[in-house]
Amino acid sequence: MAAPGKWTTGLCGCFEDCSVCCLTYWCPCVAFGRIAEIADKGNSACCVSGAFCLCLGLCTSCHACYTCFYRSKLRQLYMLPPKPCNDCCVHVCCLSCALCQEYRELKNRGMDPSLGWQGAAVNPPAGPGEMRR
């Protein structure tokens, strides 16, 4: 299990898990939806977040502003530093790499984003000040 306060992989470590790399490259909205559901602790459905991301990407170019919000949530859950720069810059400049890193982070910390919030939690994240069961 990874230590809090440190990313388990780098932003450019996409090929450390080729299945995640392919998912985030070919179906970024699916990957994002899964990340968002975990980061929201089940309060938003994967398909709703993914569909909204897709609509924003088709209609405007501001979907990175929406996705970076969930990177911030993920960082708060695991007390991760804003590396290599702030969340918005990472998502605007390297969206696929950012989503790939976030998905790998969840997997490396014992989550399975493909199962959704209800099934993913082997070791559910506890935010600062929260207690685990």
- In the predicted structure, residue 125 carries a pLDDT above the cut 80: no
Q: Is residue 126 part of a domain?
A: no
What percent of the chain has a predicted confidence (pLDDT) above 90? 53
Q: Is residue 7 part of a domain?
A: no
Measured at the CA of 42, the angle between CA 113 and CA 84, to 5 degrees, comes to: 55
Q: Please, are residues 13 and 105 in contact by the beta-carbon 8 Å criterion? A: no
This prediction's pTM: 0.85
Q: Is residue 129 part of a domain?
A: no
Q: Is residue 53 part of a domain?
A: yes
Q: Is residue 3 part of a domain?
A: no
Number of separate domains in the chain: 1
**Structural domain of 31:** 14-118
> What pLDDT, in 10s, does the model give residues 35-75?
999 999 888 899 899 898 888 888 777 788 889 999 999 99
Neighbours of 89 (CB within 10 A): 14
**Tokens 């975990």 correspond to what residue?**
38
Q: Is residue 5 part of a domain?
A: no
